[in-house]
């Protein structure tokens, strides 16, 4: 190969590498999950879970409705009251008003918030009030005489090291 061909080959290779880096950078930016996307996904999953709980986690309930897809469960496609009405129809076969659906939603929301609050209280009480002395996260105060940690105060009380 002469030098002209080598230079062209290097130029093409450099151009390809630049394009490849730009493509990778653009894909990195595309892969970021936005908070709104995550929120909608979690709400959608919660609605799907509520539907599946009516059928004891039997996914056949999804197949019963031919036009049922993930978009249906997004909060933007159906409001909460209408969704509760729809669930009530599936669960009991009775049709309820949108106001009743909204009341059911408020009750479920209140129960979930209460459950979440109780869990947070339990976590907080365990974290701040329960001291597990065996835990590696337990750091007692060295100035406290009743501290369970071993703090030698003279040369004789230091345990000999195993030098084998």
Give tens-digit pLDDT for 109-124. 898 889 888 888 877 7
pLDDT value at position 164? 47
pLDDT value at position 72? 78
Q: Which segments in the chain show pLDDT lower than 70?
A: 1-31, 75-77, 126-164
Q: Enumerate residues 6+ apart whose C-beta is below 8 A from 129.
A: none
Burial class (CB in 10 A: 0-12, 13-18, 19+), 73: buried
User: Is the whole-model pTM more than 0.85?
Assistant: no
pLDDT value at position 27? 61
Instruction: Check: CB of residue 155 under 8 Å from CB of residue 148.
Output: no
């Amino acid at each position: 190969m002469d030098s002209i061909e080598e230079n062209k080959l290097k130029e093409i290779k450099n151009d390809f590498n630049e394009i490849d880096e730009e493509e990778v950078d653009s894909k990195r930016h595309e892969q970021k999950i936005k908070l709104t996307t995550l929120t909608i996904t979690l709400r959608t999953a919660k609605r799907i879970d509520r539907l599946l709980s009516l059928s004891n986690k039997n996914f056949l309930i999804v197949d019963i409705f031919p036009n049922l897809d993930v978009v249906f469960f997004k909060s933007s496609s159906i409001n909460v009251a209408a969704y509760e009405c729809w669930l009530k129809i599936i669960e009991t076969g009775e049709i309820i008003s949108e106001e009743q659906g909204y009341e059911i939603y408020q009750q479920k929301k209140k129960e979930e918030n209460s459950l979440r609050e109780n869990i947070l209280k339990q976590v907080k009480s365990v974290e701040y009030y329960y001291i597990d002395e065996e835990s590696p996260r337990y750091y007692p105060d060295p100035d406290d005489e009743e501290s369970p940690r071993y703090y030698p105060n003279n040369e004789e009380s230091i345990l000999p090291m195993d030098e084998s």
